[in-house]
Structure 1
Amino acid sequence: MFQEFISGVSQLVAEKKRSVIVTHRQPDGDAMGSSLAWWAFLKSEGCEAHFISPTEITRNLDWLPFFSEAISFEQKEGKKKATEILAQAEVIYCLDFNAISRLEELGTLIANSSAAKVMIDHHREPESFAAFTFSDIRFAATCEMVFDVIEKLSKTDKISKEIATLLYAGMCTDTGFFQFNNTSPNVLRVASILLEKGAQPDYISEMVNNIFHERRLNFFGFCLDKKLKLTCGGKVAYIMASAKEIKRFHLQNGDSEGLVNYPFKIKGVEMTAYFSEEGEKVKVSFRSRGNTLDMNQFARIFFEGGGHFNASGGKSFLSVEETEAKFLEALETLFPKQ
């Protein structure tokens, strides 16, 4: 199956098909790293290529190489340009997501396009919309998968310092800088090669972890001091942030990234959640430790979401208070009352 995928992609690249790369809404480090790296690789092969993001991209990723090449479908001019590009596309690469239905209007354009679709993704339960699919939950990051594709194409000589930086950064964000239990021997093998190609771990760590502005750090402190709650005998920690509280700290898109992981520093915590009121919905992030608490299924069943076993996201269209009550009730499926 994988060899068929490689053969298909090899032909598409060799024929220099007009290419569009698309990722999921509110792209994170892995989504941006894999998409921009694949864009740069296609350009190095002489392909016409464009990268479209369904939404605005968080400014904490603007240090990534080729960041300015991203077209935001959320902007008026970006939507117009993206629509024109998609109309001419011969192949659409779908990276770090597996359900075009979640892209809303952009997803409709992709679904209606006659272009060949290619999926490279590591999330569970993929939709069957692509002509060529590389979907495998055993990979820690889509960046890791993109490297493997380039390697199987025998094109690692095309991995520049910029591409290495993008792929390494995406792998770092999805493995917690190689601390999470998805850090496999292949992850470390790929990382070592990317270092040889010019990725600088100290620089990438600095740009990901140590670029907080004052109001973001203050918001983290406020949440941990005033909003953190423990339940289920101290096994679950969660934070509920209202729109008013978020506005108070003048947060920008992406400023809460990583907050959901902080409660794991408390001994005994096995699961964390972060709820943020955004417009008419409450956005939710779930995290867990070990191999017993499935956040993917939890998010799918109760919060219209999904993702990975230990990390997933979802949403609620209830009030913050109602969402909290729903969450606490849903926790009984994971931590039955004795």
Structure 2
Amino acid sequence: MGGDDVAGYLRADRPRAFRFPEDHGPHPGFRNEWWYVVGNVDSEAGRRFGFQITFFRVALTPDVPESLSAWATDHVWMAHLGVTDAGSGEHHAFERFARGAAGLSGADLDPFRVWLEDWRLIALEGNDFPWRLEAVEGNTGVDMVFEQRKPPVLQGDGGLSQKGAGEGNASYYYSMTRLDARGSLRIGDEVHEVSGSAWLDREWSTSALAEDQAGWDWFALQLDDDREVMYYRMRREDGSTDPYSKGLIVAPDGGSQLIRSEDVNLEVLRTWRSDTGRNYPVEWRLRLAPMDREFEIRAVHDAQEMNMTVRYWEGAVDVLEDGKPVGRGYVELAGY
């Protein structure tokens, strides 16, 4: 997300016009891009699960390689799959890599699809919703269909999300904050028919983090009153909150309101130390001035670390207000 290797790439340095469903597809010319879906679902027997799938495209060079080989590529792809069983407390995390060549991985339109080997996110017809996710690793996997409940919302300044100081330290960023999710989820010998709600994030950029930024705390909350809250806290190296932190409140009708860093008070109530030696927050108090509301956010299970090539915490959470459940969500903690 940082670094000086930006020569020859496009930059997120000004607002742009978004077009749907075309922007669901790839954006060549930018160094980084991802398709990210998280969700909270319940089985017919009342058992709760969380899931995450992310497909990352990373450019190796801004130039298309001059080679006749089918293996030549200017991109590498990485995908992460996470599944949390809230009842047992088990968290499963998997990772794959592939070059963007020989049909191993990629992204297309007409019809829409993103894939890494046999993990894939595809439109059932054309480019728009409904989409289907199929991702299985060993005896753990997700087979889910997503239906659109609300239109896309543009993050930041009309979709230009400035993450740090300096021109181009930004991403083009939109979200689909309420998707109906239905399908099956497998853990071990058990297959669970599940339904619930999911969230899609789409970003592409060439650089985003400034030199004094260490990482971020990202919250995606789906409230029972059909509102959604997204807030990301960009953390500086000294632990303070960067003023570029921001978010969005999405109304039941799909309208949205920007959240600025000065509108938010985020207090860590409890932390958890992983086997990798990292201390992650797992319980917070979130005060939002624009809503005049205060939420308590709790991990459904502490040990939801994605212990892979890049280590981070990504997990399902509950949202409470005055001690009563008012929603569910997902939290990502990077740079700890």
Tell me, yes or no, whether TM beats 0.5. no
- Scaled to the shorter chain, the TM-score interval is under 0.3
- Whose strand proportion is higher, 1 or 2? 2
- Structure (1/2) with the larger helix percentage: 1
Return the index of the structure with the highest Cα Rg. 1
Question: RCO greater where, 1 or 2, for CA within 8 Å and sep 6 or more?
Answer: 2
- Provide TM-score, normalisation by structure 1: 0.26
